[in-house]
Structure 1
Amino acid sequence: MKKIFFLITLFFVSNLFAQQLAVLKYNGGGDWYSNPTALPNLITYCNDTIGTQLDTDVATVEVSSIDIFQYPFIHMTGHGNVVFNDADIENLRNYLLSGGFLHIDDNYGMEPYLNKELIKLFPQKELIELPATHPIFNIYTKFPKGLPKIHEHEGQRPQAKGLFHEGRLVLLFTFESDLGDGWESPEVHNDPPEVRKKALDMGANIIKYVFIN
């Protein structure tokens, strides 16, 4: 088992230099494909503002695919149901423990379904809400109140929760914020420029935090 884990880790590290990001395709009926312009726009913004050299061609990867280890950062979104089978759980857990990072952005309605799947992913861990003092809110643009609100749904406050392994943030779950909507092209939601900038700045914070830690 240790040998397999080492080979997985080696495979992941050897592909870090490509710096291509991916969207996670999952089962359960949720619209994993929502916000199609979000991640490409965020990548372009980061390349222009914080000096990253990320590939603007975004990949799509399935949860149980070994291809997941090619991508240092994976983005997951949607509105509805999420189901991880045993193969999904094992693969995703190995990916995260091997150095990968998963950002889950609830596009509204995903949270109750996702929570039960995350319990299966790491039964001994729990999501911890990140305080506004966490570096992820201060590393590029400062957000003194923590995760910004981009779109309003039910009047709930925006929250950013994380799963940690040996002190490293391996999974970030953002909800009641809709960051991905703010990353979409302007004509999609007709958000004011200042709202889109706020969302993109928070996205740049996430990218910068992941790639320097």
Structure 2
Amino acid sequence: MKLLPFFFTFFWLLNVNSQEIAILKYNGGGDWYANPTALPNLIRFCNENIDTEIEPRPQTVEVGNSEIFQFPFLHMTGHGNVFFTQDEANNLRTYLLSGGFLHIDDNYGMEPYLRKEIIKVFPEKKLVEIAADHPIFKSRYEFPQGLPKIHEHDGKRPQALGIFHENRLLLLFTYESDLGDGWEDPEVHNDSEEVRLKALQMGANIIDYAFKN
């Protein structure tokens, strides 16, 4: 079992140049499948504007499955409960420490559940707010004020929170912003083109940063 992290690190290095995204499926009852048009729209935007070559239809992978190591970028969203077994948390930890990246976008309501599960993954680390001058806010598009506000829920300011390891951001949690709603087809939420563009540009920054770091 001690060889497992080494094996996955080696496996990750074989796939480090791939540009693929997967949706992270988790247990607990939360709707991990929310915003079905969001990622395909973001992928299309990235392929057309920041020179990526991402497969247009993202695959779905379960948090405890070794298949997550095939993808440099995982996206997770939902409204409700999130639950990781300790084996699932360990699998996700190894993935992230081996070079993977996880973006968690709170679609509204998952934050209190998620915080408890992140402790299982990184008991020794804390979610910290990411400063507005971090490269993720200017890798392709400039967001001098940090994370943009896309949808209003509880009147709170948008926050980009992260887990860092050796100065690398490996887990990003976007809270009170709802980027995914801004990525969806226009008729889903009736957002203006200006709002949708902000959401897509911020999403492109996240993908660009994850692929390069």
TM range (shorter): over 0.9
**Amino acid paired to 1:22:** A
Match of 1:121 in 2: 121
Describe the SS at the equivalent of 1:43.
Answer: helix
Match of 2:157 in 1: 157
C-alpha displacement of 1:75: 0.1
CA–CA separation in structure 1 for the residues paired with 2:10 and 2:211? 18
Match of 1:110 in 2: 110
Match of 2:201 in 1: 201
**Amino acid paired to 2:52:** T
Match of 1:140 in 2: 140
Describe the SS at the equivalent of 2:142.
Answer: coil
C-alpha displacement of 1:2: 4.9
Describe the SS at the equivalent of 2:3.
Answer: helix
Cα shift readout 1:22-50 (whole Å, capped 9, x = no counterpart): 00000000000000111111111001001
Match of 1:20 in 2: 20
The TM-score, its normalising length taken from structure 1, stands at 0.97
Match of 1:55 in 2: 55
C-alpha displacement of 1:90: 0.9
Identity %: 66
Describe the SS at the equivalent of 1:8.
Answer: helix
Describe the SS at the equivalent of 1:76.
Answer: strand
C-alpha displacement of 1:98: 0.6
RMSD: 1.0
Match of 1:171 in 2: 171
Match of 1:5 in 2: 5
CA–CA separation in structure 1 for the residues paired with 2:149 and 2:71? 28
**Amino acid paired to 2:152:** E
CA–CA separation in structure 2 for the residues paired with 1:3 and 1:34? 36
CA–CA separation in structure 1 for the residues paired with 2:10 and 2:134? 30
Q: How many residues align?
A: 213
CA–CA separation in structure 2 for the residues paired with 1:19 and 1:203? 15
**Which sections of structure 2, spanning at least 5 residues, go unmatched?**
none
CA contact (8 A) 2:150 2:177 kept: yes
CA contact (8 A) 1:20 1:56 kept: no
CA–CA separation in structure 1 for the residues paired with 2:148 and 2:18? 30
